[in-house]
Amino acid sequence: MSHGQRTPALIPGLFVLIWATGFVAARFVVPYADPLSFVGIRVTGVALVLAGLAFATGARWPRDRAGWRDALVAGVFMQGLYVMGVFWAVDRGLPAGIAALVGSLQPLLTAMLAGPLLGERVSGRRWFGIVTGFAGALLVLAPKLGAVGPSGIPLPALGICLGAMAAMTLGTLWQKRQAGEADLLANATIQFLAAAVLSAPVALVLEPGHFDLSAPFWFGLAWSILVNSVAGILLLMVLIRRGAVAGVASLFFLVPPVSALMAYGLFGEVLVPLQIVGMVIAALGVAIASRG
pLDDT in tens, 229-239: 999 888 877 77
As a three-state string, the secondary structure of the chain is CCHHHHHHHHHHHHHHHHHHHHHHHHHHCCCCECHHHHHHHHHHHHHHHHHHHHHHHCCCCCCCHHHHHHHHHHHHHHHHHHHHHHHHHHHCCCCHHHHHHHHHCHHHHHHHHHHHHHCCCCCHHHHHHHHHHHHHHHHHHHHHECCCCCCCECHHHHHHHHHHHHHHHHHHHHHHHHCCCCCHHHHHHHHHHHHHHHHHHHHHHHCCCCECCCHHHHHHHHHHHHHHHHHHHHHHHHHHHCCCHHHHHHHHHHHHHHHHHHHHHHHCCCCCHHHHHHHHHHHHHHHHHHCC
pTM of structure: 0.84
pLDDT for the residue numbered 7: 47
pLDDT for the residue numbered 2: 45
Most confident of 111-120, 200-209, 217-226: 217-226
Q: Is the pLDDT of residue 220 over 50?
A: yes
More confident residue, 274 or 7: 274
pLDDT for the residue numbered 88: 94
Mean local confidence (pLDDT), 32-52: 94
Residues forming beta bridges with residue 153, ordered by sequence position: 145
Q: Is the pLDDT of residue 261 over 90?
A: no
Mean local confidence (pLDDT), 185-196: 92
Would you place residue 180 in the very low, low, confident or very high pLDDT band (cuts 50, 70, 90)? Answer: low
Q: Is the pLDDT of residue 196 over 70?
A: yes
Residues 214-222: contacts with CB under 8 Å, at least 24 apart: 214/32, 216/28, 216/29, 216/31, 216/32, 217/29, 217/32, 217/33, 220/25, 220/28, 220/29, 220/32, 220/33, 220/38, 221/29, 221/38, 221/41, 221/42, 221/45
How many Å from the N-terminal Cα to the C-terminal Cα in the chain?
30
Percent of the chain with pLDDT over 90: 28
pLDDT for the residue numbered 14: 82
Would you place residue 181 in the very low, low, confident or very high pLDDT band (cuts 50, 70, 90)? Answer: low
What is the C-alpha to C-alpha distance for residues 44 and 160, in angstroms, rounded to an integer? 23
* pLDDT tens per residue across span 74-105: 899 989 999 999 999 999 988 888 888 888 88
Mean local confidence (pLDDT), 129-152: 79
pLDDT for the residue numbered 273: 86
Would you place residue 241 in the very low, low, confident or very high pLDDT band (cuts 50, 70, 90)? Answer: low
What is the C-alpha to C-alpha distance for residues 136 and 282, in angstroms, rounded to an integer? 4
CA distances from 259 to 99, 124, 175, 262, 267 (A): 9, 31, 26, 5, 11
Mean local confidence (pLDDT), 180-191: 82
pLDDT for the residue numbered 16: 80
> Among 79-83, 205-209, 237-241, 242-246, which stretch is predicted with the lowest mean pLDDT?
242-246
